[in-house]
């Protein structure tokens, strides 16, 4: 059995783009450097899949941001923003991310979940208890749920090296 962090580990990186975008914007008025984030998530291990989950607005399909993610090797999964009567807008990928994590857990040694969303606690618990897969969390410390920090096999605080992971 592989140990956490070994170079032979097969890794899947699942990126909750909305969570990262709003955390960087609200904390630092900056954007996330997804290229550096991906490099750190993989950390010399064998990348099996990197998926970014994005919510797109109308007419955003050819957005340079989406092209940049694809260019660095991140697969995009997109869904449209839902607008409800009364103007409420919603667009999250929690269930989609959880389903992909469960599916991928049969072909990787490690899931790196890039999100601070506490809603992923049951997913982390499931993967750790029902599979031999390690779970790492990457997020901004001040906007990452303390419960998922504790539940993960490893937590990586992006705030410890803000200059590397943020674009002003």
Residue 1 predicted with pLDDT over 90: no
Q: Which residue has the higher pLDDT, 64 or 107?
A: 107
Q: And the tokens for 36?
A: 């550096």
Fold classification of 10-167 is Rossmann fold (3.40.50)
pLDDT of residue 79: 86
Mean pLDDT of all residues in 64-84: 87
pLDDT digits (tens, 9 = 90+) for 101-120: 999 999 999 999 999 999 99
**Going by DSSP bridges, is the β-strand pair 166-167/31-32 parallel, antiparallel, or unpaired?**
antiparallel
Distance CA 138, CA 154 (A): 9
pLDDT digits (tens, 9 = 90+) for 2-52: 677 677 899 999 999 999 999 999 999 999 999 999 999 999 999 999 999
The model carries a pTM of 0.91
Angle at 15 between CA 33 and CA 113, to 5 degrees: 115
Q: What mean pLDDT value characterizes the chain?
A: 91
Q: Which residue has the higher pLDDT, 143 or 82?
A: 143
């Amino acid at each position: 059995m592989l140990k956490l962090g070994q170079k032979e580990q097969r890794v899947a990186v699942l990126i909750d783009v909305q969570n990262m975008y709003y955390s960087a914007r609200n904390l630092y008025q900056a954007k996330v450097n997804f290229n550096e984030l991906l490099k750190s998530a993989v950390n010399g291990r064998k990348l099996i899949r990197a998926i970014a989950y994005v919510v797109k607005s109308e007419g955003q399909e050819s957005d340079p941001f989406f092209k940049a993610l694809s260019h660095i090797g991140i697969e995009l999964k997109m869904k449209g923003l839902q607008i409800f009567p009364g103007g409420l807008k919603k667009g999250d990928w929690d269930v989609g991310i959880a389903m992909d994590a469960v599916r991928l857990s049969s072909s990787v040694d490690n899931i790196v979940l890039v999100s601070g969303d506490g809603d992923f606690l049951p997913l982390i618990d499931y993967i750790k208890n029902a599979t031999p897969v390690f779970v790492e969390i990457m997020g901004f410390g001040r906007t990452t749920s303390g419960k998922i920090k504790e539940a993960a096999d490893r937590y990586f605080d992006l705030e410890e090296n803000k200059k590397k992971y943020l674009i002003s």
